[in-house]
Structure 1
């Protein structure tokens, strides 16, 4: 503005004033915005005279952000700089940036292992190792923050492990009959299982044993004399414990001892048994079958006849015969004269004859039946001959 002048006349000199005009200062700003987060990163305030062009360029700032991992999205600031051509107007510009990223591929392998052990910790069988399952996915890394984001896993060779039956081990039982199927993803940890085997209890069974007693009755030559005696068998039992692993057997005690009763040997007429009876026999589960043989031999025949009988006193009719009381006199009459071979109580020979004539004999193998009959006949003749001599002796004494 010019200065005011007072009191001017026609004699006053010219009043000359110079007015200088200066340009107005104008304003502008540039805002840098993070489009990833939606936040303002920074603002650059600019000033300049009206009508001038600002020398500021956004390139250096953008490059600095790019070095931090940002990526330019848009820049509204004039490439040649802002022109302050609007008095009193603040010009605003925006530079939009986003986070730069990198992409990589990530691999994951998932394993399944099954251990087989005894209860005491020892190894029972080789480990089961499943075929590993492989997965891949894309990993996106934020270049500004370093944060990672992950894509979905993609299976390369399957998404599950099949069920696995626990191996059979003789004498042992596993606590898990099988390991079931397992669903797997790339996020899964390795699968690790342990199957424990416990020894089975021994098998308990009952063992039986039968003991027999047989008695054979035979003649001396070995032929059968009578039917065998077969006793009612006796039975014993005991428990047997069989080890589930080794198969070794442990035996309990046999049931109490038992007895076979005494057996009287049967009587066979004309024969004598070498054992009158088989005594009572006590047996137990460790005993073997009992077998006995009773042998029969022919009862011996007495050898004397009427000729060999001792002399007996006379009947008193003639006592002068010096030989009348002489023992063994074949001509001596006796009171046995009339009963000869029949009186078994006084005549030994008659026992033989009686047995031979009146007692039926059991057949015997190996002996000649005709010989037996001949001997019996000779015995009878001798008895008759003795009786005849006695009779003739009596008659002679009477005649004398």
Structure 2
């Protein structure tokens, strides 16, 4: 009313008196406490404004840390860590890796620690996985160094060191093969000092510190040949072997070799001559056969008696008076004794 200023209202009209239902938008990694804000119909002009709050709660998440053996990609163990979307994964691989090192493994890759993002993701449908890769530690055993002792630490200075497995006590990474040549007389007594030659073999062993399995490389040697050895001479004796032949291509598994050279006494001859002092004419001679060094089995008594009966007299008995009545050791010349 333009005179009085009174305002008179007609009833409210609207083309829409309904708030439509609203589906809550999806935020990955979160769950809304209201999936839908419901419709409101019959809204009147005097009604108060409405405020609806949809709260998003972080989804529960799970991260799995797998420890696998590089050999065959075999899973050794796994740890599961629970948390919420986007939060830091509260986990450390240090203790478990140390444990595996003490069991003989070595680290290839720590897929958790090396991960750029160590937070839970926003996908609740699939668990996150981190892989820590380990390998069975293979330790070489140098044949030129002492063989390790079972149950002793591999590296005493490393707190995470494993211990040597029991099979190391049976490691064979050094071998010798010896040839001994004995020199004896026929009675078995020693004729010369033994000649000994030894060949040395070695190989690397590789020990799996997890399984204890020992693997060997090929045998090596600077010399696989026993040289030929000439038999030394002993005057008055003949050896049954003039030489011990060489042996080539000796294997480390070959047994030790023993060779025996036997010295046999040479055949010898002694001549006992009976001579007339007058003109030094030989009256007769006797030949006695024997072996080097043996006693000459002979007596001049009978023959001297015979000559005495024939009218001779003894001037000297070069055999009986000889200080050594044994065969000598020279086969080139016969021994001679003069009566």
> What is the TM-score when the length of structure 1 is the normalising length?
0.44
Higher relative contact order by CA 8 Å / sep ≥ 6: 1 or 2? 2
Structure number with bigger Rg = 1
Greater helix proportion? 1
